[in-house]
Amino acid sequence: MNAHSSPAANWGIIGHEWAVDYLRRSLRHGRNRHAYLITGPAAVGKMTLALRFAMALNCEADAVERKPCGVCDSCKRFIDGNFQSIGETNEPDVIIAQDYVKQRTRRDTSSGRLSIDDIRLLIETTKSGSAWLYLKPYASRYRIALYERFHLVLGPAQDALLKSFEEPPPAVIQILTSDSPAAILPTIRSRAQIIALRPVPKAPIKAELRRRGADADHAELLARLSNGRVGWALGALEDDAKLQYWQSALDQLDDVLAGSLLQRLKIAEKLGSIKWVTETGEATEAGQRVSQRVALYNLLEIWQSFWRDVLLETYDSPLKPCNINRHAEIRRLARSMDRAAALRAIIATRRAMNSIDQNRNTNANPRLVLDALFLDYPALK
Ligand SMILES: [Zn+2]
């Protein structure tokens, strides 16, 4: 099957063919559900799939095979990116919940978090008019609400949305995306069709990077580092800052490993309290726990990929490391420590990630997590 006839091709999705195939079949048989929950690692392509599915749902083409056609009025609104714009007399038929709330209230929703009040805005009809969710479609077949990073929405706010899942309004389809299925209330999860996306193989990511003009070495490096997260790879091709962030995260790890116990604890203190710059370049205050935790989690993910490479290297594996541009350093480290120490470092990093993830909505101090992690990291000879 060549790229043009593959089922995912006219959806413009890299990988995830089974998911496109599944959604297309439900379109064909008119068996669309009222709610979908798309899960998978950050930047793996959840929101891209959600948007393409929304586009296909409202596409005016006759044949399912041609949806989304890209030329009908509805498709054009998606392609132009103005599908959410609010007209003088009408509300948009398709919204990204965070954007809609921001337009309506001017509240900053960039953290992805929606409050109970934000959810009420969507579902509670007031004197001034019907809530968005209970309006009839204006110019489309369906009204579609997309929720980005729904794992950041706290339980009580999720709960406020539950009624719309229990008694879904006709012609409304809600699509949630979440990095972590466990962060979604079971009552919501059980009422949604779950689409669990997995990391995409390296080859299609590399091919897409090449198609977009990357030279072979750069495409290989980004495809490896992406670990199957298409969005990261394509973003890093557009914006060098992502790769720089990755490299500075590994430089930071070098400092930890080279440091004495005291120096390590000082680094933990610094990382636990300083202003953070995320890989998208936004500075976050230590007080903004959610953003700080996302940034810290990203950092630990990068370290984890590095430790996996070191462990692999202790086996003299013919497989090339993910961090291929640091192969010499990985080889050196693998020689200077035993396999058990590399394994311990991976497990400790994973444990720290879990701890950050589970406490993402509490004020638990990330510094304590880092203290414990750095004590577990090997001392280099
Ligand atoms: Zn169309």
176 and 287 both lie in a single domain: no
CATH of the domain at 78: 3.40.50.300
pLDDT, tens digit (0-9, with 9 covering 90-100), for 17-42: 999 999 999 999 888 999 999 999 98
Is the same domain home to 46 and 174?
A: yes
**Of 173, 196, 219, the domain-final residue:** 196
Cα-to-centroid distance, 153 and ligand 1 (Å): 32
> Quick one: 32 and 117 in the same domain?
yes
For tokens 């692999």, what's the residue?
Answer: 312
* Residue 128 shares a structural domain with residue 29: yes
Quick one: angle between helices 240-258 and 230-238, nearest 10?
100
d(CA 52, CA 8): 10
- State in Å: Cα 62 to ligand 1 middle: 9
pLDDT above 70: residue 163: yes
Over residues 128-152, mean pLDDT? 90
Nearest to 197 by CA among 34, 45, 312: 45
The answer to whether residue 124 sits within a structural domain is: yes
* 151 and 292 share one domain: no
Structural domains of the chain, count: 2
Residues 259 and 161 reside in one and the same domain: no
140: CA distance to ligand 1 center in Å?
11
Task: Give yes or no: residues 89 and 172 share one domain.
Answer: yes
Residue 298 belongs to some domain of the structure = yes
Question: Is residue 220 one of the residues assigned to a domain?
Answer: no
pLDDT at 1 over 50: no
CA of 318 to the centre of ligand 1 (A): 47
Determine the structural domain holding residue 309 and report its residue range.
Answer: 239-376
Amino acid residing at 336: S
Contact 37, 178 (CB under 8 A): yes
What's the pLDDT score for residue 358?
Answer: 76
CA of 57 to the centre of ligand 1 (A): 9
The structure tokens 């709330």 sit at 101
Asked if the structure places residue 354 within a domain, the reply is: yes
Residue 374 tokens read as: 């750095």
Q: Is 210 part of any domain?
A: no
66 CA distance to ligand 1 centroid (A)? 8
CA of 67 to the centre of ligand 1 (A): 6
d(CA 210, CA 219): 6
Radius of gyration of the chain (CA): 23
Q: What's the CA-to-centroid distance between 64 and ligand 1, angstroms?
A: 10
> Looking at 40-54, 215-229, 320-334, 366-380, which range is the least confident one?
366-380
Residue 165 lies in a domain: yes
* Dihedral pair phi/psi, residue 193, rounded to 5°: -80, 120
Domain edge (last residue) among 196, 220, 252? 196
Cα(232)–Cα(128) distance, integer angstroms:
42
- Confidence class for position 245, pLDDT limits 50, 70, 90: very high
Q: What are phi and psi of 212, to 5 degrees?
A: -90, 10
Q: How far is the CA of 79 from the centre of ligand 1 (A)?
A: 10
Tell whether 348 and 266 lie within a shared domain. Answer: yes
Q: Taking each helix axis from N to C terminus, what angle separates 240-258 and 216-226, rounded to the nearest 10 degrees?
A: 60
In the three-class reduction of DSSP (H, G, I as helix; E, B as strand; rest coil), residue 32 is classed as coil
- Ranges of H-type helices in the chain: 17-28, 46-58, 73-80, 97-105, 116-123, 155-166, 186-189, 202-211, 216-226, 230-238, 240-258, 261-273, 289-314, 327-336, 339-358, 366-376
Q: Is residue 4 part of a domain?
A: no
Q: Classify residue 248: in a domain, yes or no.
A: yes
CA angle 21, 22, 26 (to 5 degrees): 115
Tell whether 50 and 185 lie within a shared domain: yes
pLDDT band for position 112 (50/70/90)?
Answer: confident
Instruction: Give the pair of three-digit tokens for residue 13.
Output: 């999705």
Q: Are residues 166 and 302 in the same domain?
A: no
Using the 3D structure, point to which of 196, 223, 258 is the last residue of a domain.
Answer: 196
Query: Contact, 7 vs 66, CB < 8 A?
Result: no
Give the distance (Å) from ligand 1 centre to CA of residue 156: 37
CA neighbours closer than 13 Å in the CB half-sphere of residue 141:
16
Cα(71) to centroid(ligand 1), Å? 5
Find the Cα–Cα–Cα–Cα dihedral 152, 158, 164, 167, rounded to 10°.
130
Shared domain for 44 and 102, answered yes or no, is: yes
Q: How many residues can be counted in the chain? A: 381
Q: Give the lowest-confidence range in 126-130, 220-224, 277-281, 340-344.
A: 277-281
Residue 288 has pLDDT above 80, yes or no: no
Pair 29, 135 in one domain: yes
For residue 59, how far is its CA from the centre of ligand 1 (angstroms)? 4
